[in-house]
A and B are shown apart, each in its own frame.
Chain A
Amino acid sequence: MTTASKTTQVYRVYIKATPEAIWQALTDPEWTNRYGYTGYAHYDLRPGGALEVVPNEEFKAQAEQQGFPVPDVVVDGEVIEADPPRRLVTTWRMLMDPAMAEEGFTRITYEIEPQQGGGSCSLTLIHELDGAPRVASLVAGEQEEQGAGGGHAWVLSDLKSLLETGSTLAG
């Protein structure tokens, strides 16, 4: 397939949790460090506010073992819109890899919708990836066999597991 033509990706998962719990899992650094790629996501939740994802010690130690330093910030961006607990829009740049960093800022939207009957919400992630084919391939999970994790689908699956069962798939 050609990932270059695939400039927007959409992911949706249903989670048995309140919108507030899902919002917290997305925006509270202690929560973001518990699933998926881990790392402390620090959001200044107002338009123009900064987003910085700081790797945890274990992640850094693993990297050093492999003989290279991890940047102090692995993802950065800027908050465009923050409407807790329903909608969050930010720019998003991957800094772990120089070629991906060069592709610049992409844009991520999270939408949280309570479902009829209560008890669960849909969480939709829209990633606009114009001009960022490397990042697109990464977040689509196409490099999982090379050890790059399963991208957004994997992260959302892990998040669902954490919120519904209290533990992640990895843990």
Chain B
Amino acid sequence: MTDEDELHSVFRALADPTRRFLLDLLFARDGRTLTELESELSMTRFGVMKHLKVLEDADLVVTRRSGREKLHFLNPVPIRLIHDRWIDKYTERRITTLIDLKDELENPS
């Protein structure tokens, strides 16, 4: 896939409310099975699978086997790539380090 194709598949995947809902479910709790995800939606198993396939093709969801189970994980990298390559072009990027975090944690305001 070219970068342009990747971008297109991410935007296409995000354009659908059910798929955004599936991503929100994984954001709240990652590593779920199809059965768990299905239980949150009033939709056929086949319908949920179709949506997950679009999300997987866009790499927004990555699956891993754990024993007999296939777990679904939210992969934030494609969205990060859009952020870093597009949005940062138009906004001022702040380059920071863990140092600021340490400061924040040790000197809470």
Contacts and interface: CB of A to CB of B under 8 A. Distances in A.
A26 interface: no
Given A10-B62, A13-B77, A63 B99 contact: yes
B39 interface: no
Contacts of A2: 28-29
B29 A147 contact: no
B47 interface: no
A160 B6 CA distance: 14
Interface residues of A, number: 44
B103 interface: yes
Interface residues of B, number: 34
Pick from B6, B75, B98 the residue with the most CB of A within 10 Å: B98
Contact of A143 (B80, B81, B99, B101): B101
Nearest to A126: B64
Q: Sorted from nearest, which 9 A-B pairs have the closest CB atoms?
A: A147-B100, A148-B101, A147-B96, A10-B73, A153-B80, A153-B76, A157-B84, A13-B77, A157-B80
Interface of B: 1, 6, 27-31, 59, 62, 64, 73, 75-77, 79-81, 84-85, 88, 93-106
12 contacts: A10-B30, A10-B75, A11-B77, A12-B75, A13-B81, A59-B99, A63-B99, A68-B103, A140-B76, A147-B94, A149-B98, A157-B81
